[in-house]
Chains A and B, each alone.
Chain A
Amino acid sequence: MKLFRFSSPATFYPLAGKMIPWFAVLAAVTFLVGLYWGFFETPDRLGGTNPQKEYYRIIFIHVPAAWMSMWIYLVLAAYSAIGLVFNTRLSFMMANAAAPTGALFTFLALWTGAFWGRPSWGTWWDWDPRLTSELILFFLYVGYLALHSAIDDSRRADKASALLAIVGLVMIPVIFWSINCPDPNQCAALHQRSSMSNMEPNILWSMLIMTFALWMYSFAAIFMRIRGIILEREADTTWVRELVVAGQR
């Protein structure tokens, strides 16, 4: 099967090495385009009666970071599930490599959220459901990383943290829902109206470009991290030794 050729660490290692520069360049270019668009091609004010001034532009970092943090948790849980089902080493390594990047994005979203909250709400922190959900997601990432690093045996560490990631994924909708709707007497409608529809297309586009940039950055960062993990785990194998010998020459 050609499809599973790259599910072996030995074949994935060089592939990841070749792909990193592409993703890194793509990330840098889209990042610059997105930021330029966001800063110079969008209106200076947002909203009608009480407009947000220049500070609203932090959404070009804040929202993509928040989206990516949630997406990466999904990816992490998916790789964990694949790893538990098929018992493939690379899937666990992928989940491990993704976790720090996801945690970084939750932190970024919280940080920029505080920066945005200060001028617009007049406070660094508010128990806004979205901000609180992001905080809880940050805790879930930290729990995952803590459990993985607390177990010395890498097989057990992989499987235990994978199970935790899946339990977390099952609980996330319940947790987010309970934060969004602490009073069930007042939550008749399950669906919130999306704020996307009445957003200016220019702003939406630069936000999407920034999301793409952060996504490409995640690929580059995760592949760099997974190369490190592969070398560490496979240090006893012949192909790594040959690689080391070739590197020394």
Chain B
Amino acid sequence: MWRIFTCILGRDIRLAMRRRTDVLTTLFFFLIVVSLFPLGVGTEKQVLRTLGPGVVWVAALLASMLALERLFAADHEDGTLEQMLLTPQPLPILVLAKVAAHWVLTGLPLAVIAPLICLQYHLPETPRLAMMLALLVGTPILSLIGAIGAALTLGLRGGGILLSLLILPLYIPVLVYGAGAVTVSSIDFADTQPYFSLLGAFLLLALIFSPLATAAALRISLE
């Protein structure tokens, strides 16, 4: 089971590395959205500091959601996905591997460049660190929940915009506690502990239930 997991994970990452633009577009989308906000709301330091955590998180939500469309689309088009459904390996494990690869390619880069991006919002060092940690815990949840939506909207006309309608409301808890952790950390980092506990709990729950739901959704979509 572990072998099949690493096999799919390695394959998806290798495929993405052959076409790096896909990974970079997500990253640049994130960068552009975050950079647009100060141009819209004004560049006053205090305003940006209060807005920063929420804006960066919403941008991360949108970026990871936009990349979701590609999670199953390519494999669906060339028939690989149907073969995966026919293999004797448990489908939730395959799904988990694909979601893990998706996170490595979208969530992880976002979390890594987030401290740099937060400089645009004049956030001090502690909130920047908190932002990176919160994104590290939070973005896998986004990928896991999003995978259900991606599987449900597989191969539909206008799937991308539909996906956002289905998935964005479900992202709310992650957004609330993710951005909340960053806001609180600017006062006292110790106060962020319950936020991270909650995010961690969400992650564990999503890790267990999302692959099962996604597998069921894939079977419905490819019936």
**A interface, CB within 8 angstroms of B:** 136, 139-140, 142-143, 146-147, 150-151, 155-156, 159-160, 163-164, 167-168, 170-171, 174-175, 177-179, 182-185
Contact = CB atoms under 8 A, between A and B. Distances in A.
17 contacts: A136-B172, A143-B165, A146-B166, A147-B152, A150-B158, A155-B223, A156-B220, A156-B221, A160-B220, A163-B213, A163-B220, A171-B173, A174-B173, A174-B202, A175-B170, A177-B173, A185-B194
B33 interface: no
Given A151-B156, A178-B176, A183-B180, 15 more contacts: A142-B165, A143-B165, A147-B152, A155-B223, A159-B220, A163-B213, A163-B217, A164-B152, A167-B170, A170-B209, A175-B170, A178-B177, A179-B172, A184-B180, A185-B184
B191 interface: yes
Contacts of A150: 153, 156-158, 162
A174 to B, nearest CB: 5
Contacts of A170: 209
Interface of A is mostly: helix
Contact of A171 (B152, B170, B194, B198): B170
Contacts of A136: 169, 172
Contacts of B149: 164
A154 to B, nearest CB: 12
A156 B216 contact: no
A146 B213 CA distance: 19
B195 interface: yes
B198 to A, nearest CB: 6
Contact of A160 (B152, B157, B173, B194): B152
A179 B173 CA distance: 8
Interface string B189-223: 00100110110001000000100010011001101
Contacts of B153: 147, 150
A139 B220 CA distance: 23
B72 to A, nearest CB: 14
Which of A140, A151, A177 has the most CB atoms of chain B within a 10 A radius of its CB? A151
Nearest to A140: B169
A67 B217 CA distance: 30
B177 A184 contact: yes
B148 interface: yes
B220 A179 contact: no
A135 to B, nearest CB: 9
Contact of A183 (B156, B173, B184, B197): B184
Contacts of A163: 148, 152, 213, 216-217, 220
Contacts of B165: 139, 142-143, 146-147
B99 to A, nearest CB: 15
B152 A175 contact: no
Contacts of A155: 223
A236 B166 CA distance: 32
Given A147-B162, A163-B217, A167-B213, A175 B169 contact: yes
A85 to B, nearest CB: 12
Interface in B86-125: none
A164 B221 CA distance: 12
A140 B194 CA distance: 27
A143 B223 contact: no
Contacts of A174: 173, 202
A171 B176 CA distance: 14
A18 B76 CA distance: 47
A119 to B, nearest CB: 29
Contacts of A182: 176-177, 180
A160 B170 CA distance: 16
A132 B180 CA distance: 17
